[in-house]
Chains A and B, each alone.
Chain A
Amino acid sequence: MTAESAFEPRLAQRRRWGKVFAVACAVLSLFGIAVLTVLLVRIVSEGWPWLTTKFLTNFPSVLFPENAGMKSAIYGTLWLIGLTAITSLPVGVGAAVYLEEYAPNNRLTGFIHLNIANLAGVPSVVYGILGLAVFVRLLNLGRSVLAGAFILSLLVIPVIIMATREALIAVPQTIRQAAFALGATRWQVVRAHVLPSALPGIATGAILALSRAIGEAAPLLVIGALTYVAFVPEGPLDAFAAMPLQIYDWCDRPQPEFHHLAAAGIMVLLGILLPMNAVAIGIRAWHQRRKVW
């Protein structure tokens, strides 16, 4: 058999299948974008007429959906995020700094890493259950903003730790070595050299983690956060409402007016979240472009 007749390569047929496959991959890739587009179009078309200043400044109402508003939910979410940021960011960044810069490479450290990866995969309701037992009952914080913030902090701390670790790992060892060679202590090296270099990565991770916390409703439901709150929280121990909870409640009602309210509420929520995500991704892209090393 000559080399030519030994093979039947059927190139045209193989190329045709290749084209079919490429088109199929492209089409399926666009499926997610298509759904996102339909979702956004739906939300805007349903919610736009209901998105008035009244909506932003009124309290919710069961009897008069035309007059209902999201004021308590917006304030509640702002309180929640503020408190969550204050508690979760130092702990998350601190833990990551310890694990990357200080911790020896022993079994305890490895175990902590594994632990954090597992915690990142625990469903949010379980954090709610934990919070119910520890913060609401045991520490007697009740259904307060502080309890909610603590739960959300526990939820996002693993995410912040993982993102911060990646940012720290990306800082080259040579920078640390140069600083140590000048006689700096470990904290001086970290504070003056490592953290500033890692800051964009940490910022991206922190913003994405907090935006996830803003959207979480499940743990707050478990601790029994109320949804028809006609006041804004004035201190960390006050009861509160939150945007995703309010939206959930409106969705749960059968009357179509409430579904429109839900759509309007979603627009407000996305109006905060999407820019946050865009800023985080923008910081990451800018940082990757200007990387000097």
Chain B
Amino acid sequence: MVTAMDTRSAPTSETAPATPSFAIAIDATPRSPVPDTPAVVRARDVSIFYGSFCAVRNVSLDMGANRVTAIIGPSGCGKSTLLRSINRMNDFIPSMTVTGLLTYNDRDIYGSDSDPVALRRHIGMVFQKPNPFPKSIYKNVAWGPKINGYRGDLDELVEQSLRHAALWDEVKDKIHQSAYALSGGQQQRLCIARAIALQPDVLLMDEPCSALDPIATARIEDLIDKLKSAYTVILVTHNMQQAARVSDRTAFMYMGELIEVDDTTTMFTTPKEQRTQDYITGRFG
């Protein structure tokens, strides 16, 4: 079992994965490779259970501010489960329990004084399949800020959000038309605009391009690269090449465990773990 702070000192892959000593205290001095910017979201020994089934096992991971952290792994490895725990979308599954410590800005996400609704204003989410509301483009972007009592000019906020999502030029003349008239790629960018309209700190993206064609995918990958200047992006993807293209750090999960996490270039050129190597070279998954 490997943690984020200890990959350098892990034994080589000839022996079985060892359990090196590691520091789990949240204020321990981090050792590289760790995010080069302060960690906004931290996981320490997080395990997530569906009833008695363990979907995520003892994961410890830091996500740095204004960076794109990608989580990759084969289907069923627990990456989406982990992601959805960060903004407590898993609360809607009654049998789900989370143990360990998951923090946002050093505040416990699952603490007794933590309010999921308030949390979701700071941690936004873009889903696998675009899911705009059956309303106009304008209302899709404006609804979240409106119910959260946005004090400024809504029209301006909508325009800014659509610009930052690289959608404004395509929709500025039909902003009051139904969102369902847009193409798949446009709808997903609309969902991104909707998420950033709330001015969150963190943007969770759960396989945002898996339902899109290659051209739309390329546009959104470009967008992700620009978004990190304003937000912390955590991206789950089953597409390794995508992770290699857009992310700064990549974490590899397998069967619920975090196998390796590193700077993306290092991870894809010289991975430390045999399993990472096998996955990247397409041996399985």
Q: Which residue of A lies closest to B157 (CB)?
A: A6
In the assembled complex, A1 has its CB within 8 A of some CB on chain B: yes
Is B149 in contact with A1, judged by CB distance below 8 angstroms? no
Q: Does A35 contact B (CB under 8 A)?
A: no
Tell me, in angstroms, the Cα distance from A5 to B122 when the chains sit together: 13
Separation in Å of the B230 CB from the closest CB of chain A?
Answer: 10
- Measured CB to CB, the closest approach of chain A to B111, in angstroms, equals 16
A13 to chain B, nearest CB (A): 10
CB contacts under 8 Å to B, within A91-118, are none
User: Which residues of chain B are near A271, meaning CB under 8 Å?
Assistant: none
Q: How many residues of B contact A (CB 8 A)?
A: 16
CB distance from A166 to the nearest CB of B (A): 28
Tell me if A9 counts as interface (CB < 8 A to partner B): yes
Contact A7 B151 (CB under 8 A): yes
Asked whether A3 and B152 contact (CB < 8 A) given A9-B118, A9-B121, A11-B115, the answer is no
Q: List B contacts of A11 (CB < 8 A).
A: 115, 117-118
Contact A3 B199 (CB under 8 A): yes
Is the pair B201, A7 in contact by a Cβ cutoff of 8 Å?
A: no
- B201–A3 CB distance below 8 A: yes
Shortest beta-carbon distance from B131 to chain A in Å: 22
**What band does the interface of chain A fall in when counting residues whose beta carbon is under 8 Å from B?**
10 to 19
Assembly CA distance A43 to B262 (angstroms): 75
Tell yes or no: B133 within 8 A of A by CB: no
B195-223: CB near A (< 8 Å → 1, else 0) gives 00011110000000000000000000000
Give a binary string over B138-172; 1 marks a CB under 8 Å from any A CB, 0 the rest.
00000001011111100000000000000000000
User: Which residues of chain B have C-beta atoms less than 8 A from A7's C-beta?
Assistant: 121, 145, 148-151, 198-199
Give the CA-CA distance A9 to B122 in the complex, in Å.
12
Q: Tell me which residues across on chain B come within 8 A of A6, comparing CB atoms.
A: 150-152, 199
Give Cα A5–Cα B199 distance, bound, in whole angstroms.
11
Question: Please, which residues of chain A bring their CB within 8 A of the CB of B151?
Answer: 1, 5-8
**B144 (CB) vs chain A CBs: closest residue:** A7
CB-CB nearest in chain A for B150:
A7
A1 vs B118: C-alpha distance when bound (angstroms): 19
Q: Which residue of A lies closest to B118 (CB)?
A: A11
B112 to chain A, nearest CB (A): 16
On chain B, the residues within 8 Å of A5 by CB distance are 151
CB-based contact A9/B201 at 8 Å: no
Look across to chain B and name the residue whose beta carbon is closest to the beta carbon of A7.
B148
Question: With a CB–CB cut-off of 8 A, which chain A residues contact B147?
Answer: 14
* A1-35 at interface with B (beta carbon < 8 Å): 1, 3, 5-11, 14-15
A1 near B115 (CB under 8 angstroms)?
Answer: no
> How far does the Cβ of B239 sit from chain A's closest Cβ, in whole Å?
31
Which residues of A are found within 8 Å of B121, using beta-carbon distances?
Answer: 7, 9
Smallest Cβ-Cβ distance to A9: which chain B residue: B148
Chain B residue nearest to A10 in the complex (CB):
B149
Q: Which of A186-223 contact B (CB under 8 A)?
A: none
The smallest C-beta distance from B161 to any residue of chain A, in angstroms, reads: 12
Collect the chain A residues with CB atoms within 8 Å of residue B117's CB: 9, 11, 14-15
Residue of B nearest to A15 (CB): B117
Q: Distance (Å) between the CB of B190 and the closest chain A CB?
A: 21
Cβ contact within 8 Å between B149 and A8: yes
Q: Give CA–CA (A91, B121) in the complex, Å.
A: 60
Residues of A within 8 A of B199 (CB): 3, 6-7
A103 to chain B, nearest CB (A): 34
Distance, CA A11 to CA B118, complexed state (A): 8
| B residues in contact with A8, CB < 8 Å | 148-151
Q: How far is the CA of A14 from the CA of B200 in the complex (A)?
A: 20
* Residue from the set A3, A5, A6 with the largest chain B CB neighbour count within 10 Å: A6
Rounded to whole Å, the gap between the CB of A187 and the closest CB of chain B is 44
What are 23 sample pairs from A and B whose C-beta atoms fall under 8 A apart? A1-B151, A1-B152, A3-B201, A6-B150, A6-B151, A7-B121, A7-B145, A7-B148, A7-B149, A7-B151, A7-B199, A8-B149, A8-B150, A9-B117, A9-B118, A9-B121, A9-B148, A9-B149, A10-B149, A11-B117, A11-B118, A14-B147, A15-B117
Binding site for B on A (CB under 8 A): 1, 3, 5-11, 14-15
A1-B152, A6-B150, A7-B198 given; name 10 further pairs at CB < 8 Å. Answer: A1-B151, A3-B199, A3-B201, A6-B152, A7-B121, A8-B151, A9-B118, A11-B115, A11-B117, A14-B147
Which 4 interchain pairs have the tightest Cβ spacing?
A: A8-B149, A3-B199, A9-B148, A7-B148
